[in-house]
Amino acid sequence: MAREQREQREQYVEVAAGVRLWTERRGAADAPALLLVMGAQASGLGWPEELVDALAERHHVIRYDHRDTGRSTHSFDEHPYRVTDLAQDIIAVLDGLGIERAHLVGLSLGGMLTQLLLADHPERVLSATLMGTCALSETPYVGPDGVSELPGIAPEVLELWARPVEDHGLEAELDRRVAHWRVLGGDRIPFDAAYFRELERRIIEHAGGYAPSTAHGRADDSGMLRTAELARNEVPTLVVAAPAEPVFPPPHPQHLAQVIAGSRLVEVPGMGHALPPAVLGPLTEAILAHTGSAARV
């Protein structure tokens, strides 16, 4: 019965000719919609079950696989697309599921795509929550000592990303992915290798294979700046500050809060660029408090 119920919540949505995306819905159909937008190369199953279930107590939660991830169409090599097309996919998903407006929660690249919707389609967004991302703005960061340069990606992350990915079998691929999460998680919370190994095993089973995709990294990322639009944003926006973030380290969250009008900042202690069990409680509370307050505006 559980498997049957799960299948009833799954649906494919066509977002372009020959391109369809896998979606999953959870929670009461008449609850306010909340769409989870994952990062680059990441399946929707990267959103932990515990987080999805907790959010579904108050929301109709949707997660989905980007193009070239999970069960969605893998077609970049034959039909290249731009990163901005991935933002348009969000609109297509909402349209395909019959959802007029939704709360958006974006992580990493998903946070950038969410900013594009804030700028280009604010009428479709009830609220936005951004984490592990950078501002799509040319406005400089102003710190306690004035204008200062934002830090780049941590060297250990860049070194890991530079390594060639070779196929040595499923268990070796799981080892590689766990090592990746170890670095992305930062150094504030003890790392649970077994948790992330099981997470990645489920993602691989969901996708039906473990070959990694590089499509999003090769996609044209031009035309993403939205400096003026973000400066006049009116959608309630929450920026989650992660003190152990190695990809977009502090003060990137503070910069986001400066350039997106009407946004506010909440720190989740110990959080990095990953979603281990230790951060899920505080993160859920922050998201639900934000979506609840946005509903009262």
Please name which of 41, 108, 91 lies closest in space to residue 68, comparing C-alpha atoms. 41
CA distance 142 to 131: 20
User: Would you state the pLDDT for residue 212?
Assistant: 87
User: In the CATH hierarchy, which fold is given to the domain comprising 2-151+213-295?
Assistant: Rossmann fold (3.40.50)
What does DSSP say about strands 19-26 and 10-16: parallel, antiparallel, or unpaired? antiparallel
Reduced to 3 states, what is the DSSP secondary structure of residue 225? coil
User: Taking CA 114 as the corner, what is the angle to CA 230 and CA 102, rounded to the nearest 5 degrees?
Assistant: 110
Pair of tokens at residue 49:
């079950």
CA distance 56 to 210: 29
Could you give the angle at which helices 155-162 and 170-184 cross, rounded to 10 degrees? 160
DSSP code of residue 88: H
Name the strand (E) or helix (H) holding 241: strand 237-241
Q: Are 156 and 245 a contacting pair, CB within 8 Å? A: no
CA distance 195 to 192: 5
Name the strand (E) or helix (H) holding 175: helix 170-184
**For the chain, domain boundaries:** 2-151+213-295
Please name which of 55, 223, 24 lies closest in space to residue 127, comparing C-alpha atoms. 55
Rg of the chain over all Cα atoms, to the nearest angstrom? 18
Residue with tokens 């999003």: 216
Pair of tokens at residue 271:
């959080």
Q: Are 129 and 283 a contacting pair, CB within 8 Å? A: no
User: What are the Cα distances from residue 284, in Å, to 104, 236, 238?
Assistant: 14, 17, 13
The tens place of each residue's pLDDT in the chain, 297 residues long, gives 344 344 448 999 999 999 999 999 999 999 999 999 999 999 999 999 999 999 999 999 999 999 999 999 999 999 999 999 999 999 999 999 999 999 999 999 999 999 999 999 999 999 999 999 999 999 999 999 899 999 999 999 999 999 988 999 999 999 999 999 999 999 999 999 999 999 999 999 999 999 988 999 999 999 999 999 999 999 999 999 999 999 999 999 999 999 999 999 999 999 999 999 999 999 999 999 999 999 776
The Cβ-side half-sphere exposure at 144, using a 13 Å CA radius, reads: 1
User: Would you state the pLDDT for residue 297?
Assistant: 63
The Cβ-side half-sphere exposure at 225, using a 13 Å CA radius, reads: 6
The sign of the CA dihedral 190, 195, 201, 205 is negative
